[in-house]
């Protein structure tokens, strides 16, 4: 099974400065390289350099005026009241500020996830990975939650050109609200989001269990809202059981998995208490379904732990998991001290998820899926 890995030095450079977790993209990529996971002969992995998307491709989901503004707002030519008002309307403030090179960034980011999807559409690969993507909060007409465009939605729309049914799974600590909204009324895309849900205290406050789609999309959306501190063993149990049930009921022809790493133990957002091994187990379950699989990044605000997590997943994709526990010698080795280990241990965070609560989640999923 061949793997397409999306990377270019320019995409990495832009992602390093646009991601809220600065310089994260380079750490992820260099750790993957250091472990030898891009060795084409040993891992059957092909590095694909993304092309910048044409602006029309962004408009397959996003409103034209929003895209046009994104592409011209960082050229520095206007800073008047009208410009400020537009920034407000399009969500380009607070956590999504207008930065230099924003236009180039969104076109290349969109191109990266579209090219990853194209590898599956053309059959060039069975698995495609874009760790620079996964920006699930952006809406069709405004930026939100560090997400300037929604490359997940763009990639899914491209997959729908070949595949009749696409399953979107969101492992990020935050609800995959932008992707859910985009496909809430269709039965062609099933959205399944696992996330921490503590309204008023944890962003974005949506993704409650009762949101299950509308019109044709009714019962083609599932939310699995965890309380804070969920531990790895329960994450694996719930995610693998629910994913298996959804695959059986929905019969996806392709799967997109957003692997946001902010659910990891010790992440500054303090949401859940998940180890990289648990992410690996869930992704391995998806691999075993034997349908084309697109993996995307997302959140992850502990830089070296995010690199540990996505490197572990990258190894699993080519059956190189488990890796040696010692971080290999490379440019950023000193950032992995004092343990210099690949392992991330669970923290002592309090787990508010009781067995009864978790059972109520899986029971709910089963009852929704029985209606498909």
* Contact positions vs Zn ion (CB under 5 A): 172-174, 260, 262, 299
Q: Mark whether 137 is an active-site residue.
A: yes
In the bound state with Zn ion, the residue whose beta carbon lies nearer, of 118 and 172, is 172
Nearest-CB residue for Zn ion: 299
Nearest-angstrom CA–CA distance, 184 and 135: 18
Q: For residue 46, give the 3-state DSSP assignment.
A: strand
Which pair of tokens denotes residue 20? Answer: 């809220």
Provide the 3-class DSSP secondary structure of residue 320: coil
- Give Cα 342 to chain centroid, integer Å: 21
Q: Which CB atom, from 232 or from 306, has the smaller least distance to Zn ion?
A: 306
Q: Are 44 and 2 in contact (CB under 8 A)?
A: yes
Q: How far is the CB of 347 from Zn ion (least distance, A)?
A: 17
Distance CA 347, CA 332 (A): 24
Q: Which is nearer to Zn ion, 172 or 228 (CB)?
A: 172
Closest CA to 286 of 126, 123, 164: 126
Contact 317, 280 (CB under 8 A): no
Q: Between 207 and 260, name the residue whose CB sits nearer to Zn ion.
A: 260
CA distances in angstroms from 312 to 31, 103, 266, 304, listed in the order given: 10, 32, 17, 12
Closest separation in Å from C-beta 93 to Zn ion: 19
Q: How far is CA 166 from the centre of its chain?
A: 15
Q: Is the peptide bond before 338 cis (omega within 30 degrees of 0)?
A: yes
Shortest reach from residue 231's CB to Zn ion, in Å: 19
Catalytic-labelled residue, pool 7, 29, 136, 137 = 137
Catalytically active residues, by annotation: 137
């Amino acid at each position: 099974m061949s793997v397409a890995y999306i990377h270019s030095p320019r995409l990495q450079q832009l992602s390093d400065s646009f991601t809220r977790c600065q310089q994260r993209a380079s750490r992820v990529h260099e750790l993957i390289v250091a472990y030898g996971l891009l060795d084409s002969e040993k891992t059957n992995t092909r590095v694909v350099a993304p092309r910048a998307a044409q602006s029309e491709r962004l408009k397959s989901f996003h409103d034209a005026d929003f895209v046009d503004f994104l592409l011209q707002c960082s050229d520095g030519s206007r800073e008047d009241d009208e410009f400020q008002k537009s920034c407000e309307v399009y969500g380009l403030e607070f956590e999504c500020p207008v930065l230099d090179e924003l236009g180039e960034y969104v076109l290349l980011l969109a191109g990266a996830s579209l090219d990853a999807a194209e590898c599956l559409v053309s059959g060039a690969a069975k698995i495609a990975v874009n760790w620079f993507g996964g920006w699930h909060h952006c809406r069709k007409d405004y930026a939100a939650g560090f997400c300037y465009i929604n490359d997940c939605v763009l990639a899914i729309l491209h997959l729908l050109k070949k595949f009749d049914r696409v399953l979107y799974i969101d492992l990020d600590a935050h609800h995959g609200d932008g992707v859910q909204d985009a496909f809430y009324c269709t039965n062609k895309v099933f959205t399944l989001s696992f996330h921490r849900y503590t309204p008023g205290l944890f962003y974005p406050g949506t993704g409650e269990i009762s949101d299950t789609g509308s019109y044709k999309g009714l019962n083609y959306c599932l939310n699995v809202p965890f309380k804070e501190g969920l531990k790895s063993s329960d994450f694996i149990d719930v995610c693998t059981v629910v994913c298996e049930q959804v695959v059986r009921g929905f019969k996806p022809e392709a799967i997109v998995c957003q692997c946001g790493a902010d659910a990891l133990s010790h992440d500054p957002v303090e949401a859940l208490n998940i180890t990289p091994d648990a992410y690996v187990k869930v992704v391995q379950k998806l691999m075993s379904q034997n349908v084309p699989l697109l993996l995307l990044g997302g959140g992850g605000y502990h830089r070296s732990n995010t690199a540990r997590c996505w490197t572990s997943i990258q190894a699993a994709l080519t059956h190189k998991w488990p890796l040696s526990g010692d971080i290999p010698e490379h440019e950023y080795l000193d950032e992995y001290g004092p343990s210099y280990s690949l392992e991330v241990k669970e923290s002592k965070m309090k787990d508010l998820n009781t067995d009864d609560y978790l059972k109520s989640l899986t029971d709910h999923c089963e009852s929704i899926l029985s209606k498909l």
